[in-house]
Structure 1
Amino acid sequence: MAPQIVLVTGCSSGIGLAMVQRLARDPDHRFIIIATVIAMSEKNDLEAAVKDYIDKAVFIKEMDITKDGDITIVVESVINDHGRIDILLNIAGLSLIGIPENISREQVDKIFSVNVIGTIRLTQAVLPHMKEKQSGKIITFSSVAGRIGFAYIELYCASKFAVEGFFESLAAGVRAFNIRVCLVEPGPVKTGLWDFTVKQYTSHSNDDTIHAIDRRQLQNKVPRVRVEPVFEVDDVVDRVMLNCINADEPALRLLIADTNLAQAASDLTGEDGLQKLGLKELSEIE
């Protein structure tokens, strides 16, 4: 059987890099991976991690998903070289923490440009080729924050809620083409991005210029964030391989979360999330 052609974004670090490693080391050599980075200056860790597979199972390409020109060049080159794209793995993303009224227009534009618009535009570029072949998988990393709102990461949550809306709607229309959409919804994962998240919470909690209630809520949140259950990257990759990559007909959603988050995500009223995960700090400071 011919190897599956996998196009992956966000490969310079974290989950994206780990996914490329796992696919490249597949014992049955089932995959050819086109691993993209925002700039070739960002490829060093990826190149070192898969050095034995470069230009064999792994081909590194530069692609900034906020630039339509980059998307067109990469997708067309993959089709020209390999004839198809079997799996699209949308992993690239940004996080943003802050006091909601202090977030600048530039920051709003940036996070939506990457997390939402760029991800949608790449998917749009790949879809015609999958429809022509009437097969494919589109696996997109959302977040448990695409199901539940969290204080002080409102813009990140909003971007992931938008991702959920687009891909859930897309899934309903493309199954007739034998294309499966899978939304991966992890809780906190032990990556550089999570370390940055903890630092940002800590920094904002020490900001004397913000409202006292915001500051106290953040100060109550920081210890919880530091001890919050965090998944190992390999655990997430294992579950994506099992439930999305290897499954013939993957389910729309793959929630990777602890019990509290899973329960909050399943509560249709939204109150469970507010009580357990969101505004609990208010009662603690009154």
Structure 2
Amino acid sequence: MAPQIVLMTGSSSGIGLVMAQRLARDPDHRFIVIATVIAMSEKNDLEAAVKDDIEKTVFIKELDITNDEHITEVVEDVISSHGRIDVLINIAGIALPAIAERVSREKIDKIFNVNVIGTIRLTQAVLPHMKEQQSGKIITFSSITGKIGFPYSEFYCASKFALEGFFESLAGGLRAFKIRVCLIEPTQVESALWDWILHQMESLANDQTLSEIDRRQNRITHARSKEGTRMPADDVVGAVITRCLDVDEPVLRHLLAPGETCDVLQKTLADLTGEAGISAFGF
């Protein structure tokens, strides 16, 4: 059987880098990976991780998902070079711990352009090809924060809620084309991004220009986040391979979290008033 052609974003670090490496080195050689980075200056870690597989089972390309022309060029190049796209994996994203009223329009635009609009535009570019071949998988990284809101991460949560709404809506219409949509919803993941988020939380907790209430609540948030269980990126990637890539007809949602987190989430989502979610933070 011919290898599946996988186009993926966010390959320069974290989950994306591990995903590119795992798929490129699949023992059964089931995948050819087009691993994209926002700029070629960001490819060093990825290149080192897959150096023996470059131009064999993995091809590194530059892709800025906030640039429509760039999206079109990359998708057309993949189709021209490999004949098809079997799997799209949307991983690229940025976070923004902050005080809501202090976030500039520029930062709001950036997080939505990357996390939402860019992801949607790339999916739009791939869809005609998948519909024509009447097969495909679209795997998008959301988050547990796409299910419940977290104070001081309002814009990140909003971007993930938007992804959940778009891809859940998209999934129903694509089943007749034999295209499956998967939403990956991990809790905290061991990565440089999560370390940066913790640092930003700590900075907010110590920012003397904030009210004592905001500082206190950020101290609580930081302490809980620091003590919380983190999933290794390799475990997240393994779950995606097992649940989505190894399965012909995967389900839509894939929550990757410890049991206690799942229990809190279930209780929160079952409360139609929304008060369970607010009280869970214990402020």
Question: Considering the TM-score relative to the shorter chain, is it more than 0.5?
Answer: yes
* Contact 1:205–1:215, Cα closer than 8 Å, also in 2: yes
Q: For residue 176 of structure 1, what is the amino acid of its counterpart?
A: A
Percent identity of paired positions between Structure 1 and Structure 2: 63
Do the aligned partners of 1:144 and 1:261 also contact (CA within 8 Å) in 2?
A: no
Structure 2 match to 1:46: 46
Among 254, 258, 275, the residue aligned to 1:271: 275
- Using the alignment, how far apart are the partners of 1:31 and 1:137 within structure 2? 13
2:202 equivalent to 1:202:
yes
Matches of 1:50 and 1:219, distance apart in 2:
40
Looking at structure 1, the residues matched to 48 and 178 of structure 2 have their Cα atoms a distance apart, in angstroms, of 36
Shift of 1:177: 0.1
Structure 2 counterpart SS, 1:152: coil
Q: Which residue of 2 aligns with 1:233?
A: 233
Q: CA deviation at 1:208?
A: 0.7
Superposed displacement of residue 221, structure 1: 2.1
- For residues 230-269 of structure 1, the aligned pairs below 5 Å read 230-266=230-266, 267-269=269-271
Distance 1:21 1:129 in 2: 25
Number of residue pairs the alignment of both structures matches:
279
Gap regions ≥5 residues in structure 1: 282-286
Residue 223 (structure 1) shift = 1.6
Given the two structures, how large is their TM-score scaled by the length of structure 1? 0.96
1:226 CA displacement: 1.1
In the alignment, what sits opposite 1:76?
Answer: 76
Three-state SS of the structure 2 residue aligned to 1:94 is coil
Shift of 1:212: 1.4
SS of the residue aligned with 1:28? coil
Equivalent residues of 1:90, 1:119 under 8 A apart: yes
Normalising to structure 2: TM-score of the pair? 0.97
User: Which digits, 9 at most, give the CA deviation of each residue in 1:228-263, with x for residues without a partner?
Assistant: 111111110110000011111111000001233312
**3-state SS of the aligned residue for 1:163?**
helix
8 Å Cα contact 1:78-1:85 kept in structure 2: yes
1:273, distance to aligned residue in structure 2 (A): 2.6
Q: Which residue of 1 aligns with 2:65?
A: 65
Q: Structure 1: how far apart are the matches of 2:102 and 2:261?
A: 27
Structure 2's unaligned 5+ residue stretches are: none
Q: Is the 8 A contact 1:148 1:264 kept in 2?
A: no
